Amino acid sequence: NAGVTQTPKFQVLKTGQSMTLQCAQDMNHEYMSWYRQDPGMGLRLIHYSVGAGITDQGEVPNGYNVSRSTTEDFPLRLLSAAPSQTSVYFCASSYSTVGNYGYTFGSGTRLTVV
Amino acid sequence: GENVEQHPSTLSVQEGDSAVIKCTYSDSASNYFPWYKQELGKRPQLIIDIRSNVGEKKDQRIAVTLNKTAKHFSLHITETQPEDSAVYFCAARGLTGGGNKLTFGTGTQLKVEL
């Protein structure tokens, strides 16, 4: 199993550009989520999904869109990049939507918006 | 929603000493409390977790305690080693909203000095 795969690992965008961060898992996890990590602020939830076709907003959803057309994939779209979106982005998945299982994280995407 | 506070933000100990990191949570219905370790430039990895029906759990040199009445939980690392140096995050799973949604603390930078 590859686990949770994120691409790209690094990205530089200009203000106003759009892009999609990819996340795929091969563990048949129902639950997937996106977090951003900023210094001193921990991991903050952007969007999450409890299964294919179902998504919901987290703590900091503005400026981001998600979709979940398959169990395996959960892409994160930046609609119009802003310097405030400079961050490290982590995708995470877990086995159960209602169970108490820890997350498996992807390796992260370091995004810089200039 | 759930709110998790974590202290201290930085912790420096001598090799062989013990380290304690504390977290408090706000949602009395929260029922799952994992701890993650993140080495520099790497993804967070689950090191130990505890469920609300258990007061303490140990795994070799690490242990977690939970006080539901006070709504706080702690990570204890004994006989610290240089490889324990990392950022540690606590998290709590609240029951408001859907899915296996975790709220993270802001992290503790642990440095184990020789």
Q: pLDDT digit string (tens) for B27-82?
A: 998 989 999 999 999 999 999 999 988 899 999 999 999 999 999 999 999 999 99
What pLDDT was estimated at residue A40? 83
CB-CB neighbors (< 8 A) of B105 in chain A: 42
What pLDDT was estimated at residue A101? 74
The pLDDT of residue A97 is above 70: no
Say how far apart CA A11 and CA A19 lie, in whole Å. 9
The pLDDT of residue A92 is above 70: yes
Say how far apart CA B15 and CA A107 lie, in whole Å. 29
- Helix (H, G, I), strand (E, B), or coil: what is residue A78? strand
What pLDDT was estimated at residue B52? 86
CB of A52 within 8 Å of a chain B CB? The answer is: no
- A102 close to B46: Cβ distance less than 8 angstroms: yes
CB pairs under 8 A between A and B: 67
Q: Which amino acid is at B34?
A: P
- Helix (H, G, I), strand (E, B), or coil: what is residue B95? coil
Say how far apart CA B35 and CA B49 lie, in whole Å. 6
Q: What is the pLDDT of residues B99-109, one digit of tens each?
A: 688 999 999 99
The pLDDT of residue A100 is above 70: no
Nearest to A34 by CA among A111, A72, A91: A91
What pLDDT was estimated at residue B100? 80
CB-CB neighbors (< 8 A) of B42 in chain A: 107
Mean pLDDT to the nearest integer, A81-86: 97
The pLDDT of residue A98 is above 70: no
What pLDDT was estimated at residue B101? 86
Nearest to B68 by CA among B100, B22, B35, B24: B24
What pLDDT was estimated at residue A41? 84
List, in sequence order, every residue forming a beta bridge with B50; answer none if it has no partner: B33
**Minimum-distance CB partner of A42 among B49, B89, B98:** B89
Q: What band does B96 get if pLDDT is binned at 50, 70 and 90?
A: low
What is the CB neighbour count within 10 angstroms for residue B71? 16
